[in-house]
Amino acid sequence: MGALWQSEEATVAEVRERLSVDLAYTTVLTVLRGLEQKGYAAHRKEGRAFVYRARVAAESAGASLVERLLDRVYQGSPVRLMAQLVADRDLTAADVRRMRALLDERLREMEAE
C-alpha cells in the first residue's frame, strides 16, 4: 500500500520498483489483486497494463491495522502494545519524550471531558 500512497496511480511494474525487496512481477500482481479484493485498492486498464490506486487513506488503513493488532496479538490491551514498543525498540530520549507528551495531551483531553 505504501507504494500506492506515494503517487496517485501506479502500474504493477512501478509498484515493484518502489518496493525495498525484489519481488517477482507476478507476486506483486497477486498482492495488488488481494488488496483490491479486500477493497483497499482499485485498478483500471491502460493498454496492456493495469494501473492501480489506493482506495483508502493511509491514516484509516493504519488505524484499522492497529485495531486488528490490538485484538489479535495484545488481547485488546493498548497498554500491552505500548509496553512492547517501549521494551523492544531502540528508542531515543526524544522518542520517549514525544510519547510522554502525546500521553499527557490525551490525559488532559480526557480530564476536560
Cα–Cα dist 110/42, whole Å: 39
Residue 95: CB atoms within 10 Å: 13
Rounded Cα distance between 78 and 67, Å, is 9
Q: Report the CATH fold assignment for 2-54.
A: Arc Repressor Mutant, subunit A (1.10.10)
* Residue 51 scores a pLDDT above 80: yes
Q: What is the pTM of this model?
A: 0.59
The predicted structure's pLDDT at residue 87: 86
* 102 pLDDT tier (thresholds 50, 70, 90): very high
pLDDT at residue 112, as a whole number: 94
Backbone angles phi, psi at 27, to 5 degrees: -65, -45
CB 13 within 8 A of CB 51: no
pLDDT value at 55 more than 80: yes
Residue 61 has pLDDT above 80, yes or no: no
